[in-house]
């Protein structure tokens, strides 16, 4: 009769009371004239000093909750004092050549870091990156071919020799796809092409702490990468999520991935250790990994 409204239940009151990121649309030109674009999320109030930066590269569509694949909690990262940049894939030429796209991606990411550094916004010594699917391949390419990253996280398998043979059973079309897109034939026939792309074959060039949170069906395909990293000084952990396909969908798995990613980047880029006793073992492991990593760096490994 009166048109008055009464709220019976407000499930998002606590969420609205939390930090709301400031959002900027950015665009910049690469050296070859291509245009890159990103969404930048910043804390609502700028404090003293520069911010650590988290980068996601792939697609930035709709509500920017956790990047493509929804693995990295953007808003909680901002709440923890990070700048977060979601970069849309920069278009290449007609067709798709994987290594060319990786190089374009690295140029775009380097351009963004330079731009934000010049603005005095970010600390280029504290840059992290996370990637899903194609974004995970770009993340590993950046880790292998630059010194930009202080921490990284991936949510998908990589293009490795083991991946080739896993998918090369007679009658499958995957080998043809790998040759067409990645320029990869059987590993014994195209060893140089594999050396260029495979993270497992380039562990000596990866010095970035790496967290791998993969669906069960893909975790077995990074066995070589995981084993080689664990035999090096580079910090690495691998988690497999049961009964998950390419994109994780189970709510408890999404929450676990969110929490561990947030902890991982805060630990390596902010030195943060949670007081939650339930995660004490996690931080004990990571501290041991950090000590070994620093000792190896000091020794010149």
| Of 218, 224, 237, 244, catalytic | 218
| Residue 246 annotated as catalytic | yes
> Which 8-state DSSP code applies to residue 277?
G
In contact, 184 and 194? CB cutoff 8 Å: yes
| Residue 68 annotated as catalytic | no
> Which 8-state DSSP code applies to residue 179?
I
Length of the chain: 301
Question: Per DSSP, what are the bridge partners of residue 239?
Answer: 213
| Of 79, 146, 246, 272, catalytic | 246
d(CA 90, CA 50): 27
User: For tokens 């990411």, what's the residue?
Assistant: 109
> What residues have CB less than 8 Å from 204, skipping those under 6 apart?
232
Q: How many CB atoms lie within 10 A of CB 226?
A: 18
3-state helix, strand, coil split of the chain in percent (to 5) is 45, 20, 40
> Which 8-state DSSP code applies to residue 202?
G
> What residues have CB less than 8 Å from 156, skipping those under 6 apart?
69, 131, 132, 133, 135, 136, 137, 214, 218, 246
Which token pair is 226? 């995981």
| Of 20, 79, 99, 133, catalytic | 133
| Residue 101 annotated as catalytic | no
Range list of H helices, 170-279: 174-177, 191-197, 216-219, 223-230, 251-270
Which token pair is 195? 């050396």
Question: Closest by alpha carbon to 82, among 263, 254, 212, 255?
Answer: 263
Give the active site residues.
Answer: 133, 218, 246
């Amino acid at each position: 009769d009166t048109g008055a409204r009464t709220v019976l239940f407000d499930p998002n009151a606590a969420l609205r009371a939390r930090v709301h990121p400031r959002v900027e649309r950015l665009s910049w030109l690469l050296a070859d004239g291509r245009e890159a674009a990103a969404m930048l999320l910043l804390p609502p109030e700028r404090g003293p000093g520069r911010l650590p930066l988290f980068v996601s590269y792939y697609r930035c569509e709709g509500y920017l909750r956790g990047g493509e694949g929804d693995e990295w909690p953007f808003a909680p990262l901002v709440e923890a004092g990070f700048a977060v940049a979601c970069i849309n894939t920069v278009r290449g030429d007609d067709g798709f050549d994987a290594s060319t796209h990786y190089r374009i991606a690295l140029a775009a990411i380097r351009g963004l870091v330079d731009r934000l550094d010049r603005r005095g916004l970010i600390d280029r010594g504290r840059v992290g990156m996370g990637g899903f699917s194609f974004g995970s391949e770009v993340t590993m390419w950046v880790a292998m071919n630059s010194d930009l990253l202080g921490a990284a996280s991936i949510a998908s398998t990589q293009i490795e020799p083991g991946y080739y043979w896993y998918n090369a059973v007679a009658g499958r079309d995957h080998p043809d796809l790998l040759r067409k897109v990645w320029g990869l034939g059987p590993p014994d026939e195209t060893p140089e092409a594999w050396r260029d792309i495979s993270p497992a074959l380039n562990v000596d060039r990866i010095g970035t702490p790496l967290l791998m949170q993969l669906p069960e069906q893909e975790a077995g395909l990074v066995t070589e990468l995981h084993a080689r990293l664990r035999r090096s000084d580079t910090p690495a952990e691998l988690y497999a999520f049961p009964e998950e396909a390419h994109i994780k969908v189970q709510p408890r798995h999404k929450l676990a991935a969110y929490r561990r990613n947030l902890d991982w980047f805060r630990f390596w880029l902010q030195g943060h250790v949670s007081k939650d006793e339930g995660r004490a073992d996690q931080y004990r492991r990571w501290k041991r990994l950090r000590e070994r990593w620093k000792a190896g760096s000091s020794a010149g490994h």
